[in-house]
């Protein structure tokens, strides 16, 4: 039973890591979904901790331009405020 809880915790942390890195890249759920060929709801579910295939994980890392192992770095010291600043900065660069 405890193994299942640990696996669930990993999926939740992985989803959070994907979301943080997606936002750092300035991508919306829709944009990431389009780039890897899935639905927006699939990305939303993954970011909430749903099971993810290895292929989808590789596609996400590729689009986010990060190493696959970096998605498993759960020592993120990023607040939502930090992410907002990063996104705003990227949006200004696009204009």
pLDDT (tens digit per residue) in 25-52: 999 999 999 999 999 999 999 999 999 9
pLDDT single digits (tens) 3-28: 555 888 889 889 999 999 999 899 99
Residue 6 CA to chain centroid, in angstroms?
Answer: 19
Helix axes 80-94 and 2-24, enclosed angle (nearest 10): 30
Contact 48, 24 (CB under 8 A): no
Q: Which two tokens stand for residue 42?
A: 């699939």
* Predicted TM-score of the model (pTM): 0.77
Instruction: State how far the Cα of 87 lies from the Cα of 83, in Å rounded to an integer.
Output: 6
**89 phi and psi, to 5 degrees?**
-65, -45
Residue 79 and residue 64: Cα distance in Å, rounded?
19
């Amino acid at each position: 039973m405890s193994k299942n809880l640990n696996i669930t915790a990993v999926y939740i942390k992985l989803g959070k890591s994907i979301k943080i890195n997606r936002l750092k890249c300035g991508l919306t759920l829709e944009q990431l979904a389009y780039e890897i060929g899935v639905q927006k709801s699939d990305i939303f579910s993954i970011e909430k901790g749903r099971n993810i295939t290895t292929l989808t994980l590789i596609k996400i890392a590729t689009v986010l331009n990060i190493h696959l192992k970096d998605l498993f770095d759960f020592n993120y010291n990023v607040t939502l405020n930090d992410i907002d600043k990063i996104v705003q900065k990227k949006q200004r660069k696009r204009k």
